[in-house]
Amino acid sequence: MTAVGDAVADAFREEWGRVVATLIAMTNDWDLAEECTQEAFAQALKSWPVDGVPRRPGAWLTTVARRRALDRLRRKSTEATKLHQVGVIAALEEEGEDVSERSDIADDRLRLIFTCCHPALPLEARTALTLRTLTGLTTAEIAHAFLVPEATMAKRLVRAKQKIAHAGIPYRVPEAALLPARTSGVLAVLYLLFNEGYGASGGADLMRHDLAAEAIAICRVLATLLPEEPEVSGLLALMLFQDARRDSRLDADGEIVTLEHQDRTRWNRPMIDEASALLAGALARQNAGPYQLQAAIASGHATSEAGSTDWVEIARLYALLARIMQSPVVELNRAVAVAMADGPDAGLALLDELETEGSLARYYLLPASRADLLRRLGRHAEAARCYEQALAMAPTEPERRFLRGRMAEMTALP
């Protein structure tokens, strides 16, 4: 790619969400905002090689997009829409040429994030709309990420935008009393995005790096816009701790490498350092929530030397997390940590309770965890049967290959 091409690509990553948010605030038309922003980037590919990359690419793109929106509205103005369109056109003309100087552009982006993640929208719609409007991913790219047909994803996005319009979902940051609850909803969407990238829910690949990267990028925006919210920093720290290990999670043949056997020299130390600083700043506010606790657990893995993980402390943190979240997955992770701290038998006792409850009946990591603890105890035949159960439920091919290998290993042992 040429230097100008790189500049356009960088601007796309940095400015897409800003430009779209600004145009939605001006026009209240989501489709128009996206289309005009696309046209602005297309114009940049034509103009920048001739005129040079502008000193402030975001300002240039916003101004071009605003002009396109103004032209579009003037052309399609009819008697039926005249009063409304005249008002929007007047507002656009009043903005002037350099709309990037508006003092509330950061608020526009915050409004966009909270609107995309409004609780009135179905969770899958919130996730898709967040990716579409804040990162500029195409409908086809989002559909591929979530393993659904493009037509299905297109309908999902259309319905989400129609819901916003017809239900009168406001384009605004929630009032102070509602902000904590609504922020937690936004964070849940971002964590869902990251987890889909970090550990795919199906398909041939274990990870989708681009999806995890988009979740991190959006969370960075949110952390900038809400610097006083410790759970935002906690989630960003958690994502960075996890993502720092991605290059070591698979070997050269694409096979899974468990945490204890990962090459720690391949972990991204600058990313771990950044995450540590974010977590320290969040915890200093002495209002630890679930994302901060999960980040503290991830820190225990990311900052320890091989073989020196403080499993007692990690088990303690999982116990605290379980009180807050009351999640069977958290209880499963706590059982594994207890097994590492106090021995496999202690972990198996906790797994027995989870199996009796039945809430994780279709979650492959429950039989996989039991199989691993049985393997550590030398109960090979029982471990093989549990690996077989996990194999039937594993969502991705790398996970299935790993379980097949472990099952064959256990079958071969007395």
Most confidently modeled range among 106-115, 354-363, 369-378: 369-378
Taking CB atoms within 8 Å and a gap of at least 24, the contacts of 283-288 are: 283/230, 285/230, 287/230, 288/230, 288/234
How confident is the model at residue 138, as a pLDDT? Answer: 86
- Spatial CA neighbour of 139 closest among 164, 113, 158: 158
Residue with tokens 């990553």: 13
- Answer whether residue 60 is part of any domain: yes
Same domain, 109 and 215: yes
103: confidence class by pLDDT, cuts 50, 70, 90: very low
Domain assignment present for residue 322? The answer is: no
Residues 153, 181, single domain; the answer is yes
Expressed in angstroms, the distance from the first to the final Cα of the chain is 57
- 301 in a structural domain: no
With vertex at residue 201, the alpha carbon angle to CA 142 and CA 141, rounded to the nearest 5 degrees, is: 10
Asked if residue 129 and residue 18 are part of one domain, the reply reads: no
Average pLDDT over residues 9-16: 88
Q: How many domains does the chain have?
A: 4
Name residue 16's amino acid: W
- Span 201-221, average pLDDT: 74
Q: What is the pLDDT of residues 144-200, one digit of tens each?
A: 767 688 999 999 999 999 999 888 888 888 887 888 788 888 998 898 888 877 775
**Final residue belonging to a domain, choices 200, 226, 252:** 226
Convert the pLDDT of each residue in 42-100 to its tens digit.
Answer: 999 999 999 999 999 999 999 999 999 888 888 776 544 544 555 555 555 555 555 55
In a shared domain, residues 97 and 73: yes
Q: Chain-wide mean pLDDT for the chain?
A: 87
Residue where a domain terminates, one of 190, 208, 226? 226
Can you give the residue range of the structural domain that contains 245? Answer: 228-286
**Residue 109 and residue 20 in one domain:** no
Q: Is residue 305 included in any domain, yes or no?
A: no
- Are 21 and 101 in contact by the 8 Å Cβ rule? The answer is no
Residue 323 lies in a domain: no
Instruction: Calculate mean pLDDT across residues 109-114.
Output: 86
Q: Does residue 110 sit in the same domain as residue 222?
A: yes
Is there a single domain that holds both residue 216 and residue 143?
A: yes
The residue type at 42 = A
Domain edge (last residue) among 102, 126, 143: 102
CATH number for the domain harbouring residue 26: 1.10.1740
124 with 211, same domain: the answer is: yes
What is the pTM (predicted TM-score) of this model?
A: 0.79
Please check whether residues 148 and 135 belong to one and the same domain.
yes
Q: Would you tell me how many other CB atoms lie within 10 Å of the CB of residue 374?
A: 21
| Domain assignment present for 298 | no
Task: Tell me the CB-side half-sphere exposure of residue 93, using CA atoms within 13 A.
Answer: 9
CB 235 within 8 A of CB 221: no
Position 150 in a domain: yes
pLDDT above 90 as % of the chain: 50
Residues 133 and 95 in one domain: no
Residue 351 maps to a domain: no
Q: Which amino acid is at 181?
A: A
Check residue 174 and report its DSSP letter.
P
In the numeric block, which tokens belong to residue 187? 């964070």
Same domain, 205 and 266: no
Same domain membership, residue 215 and residue 124: yes
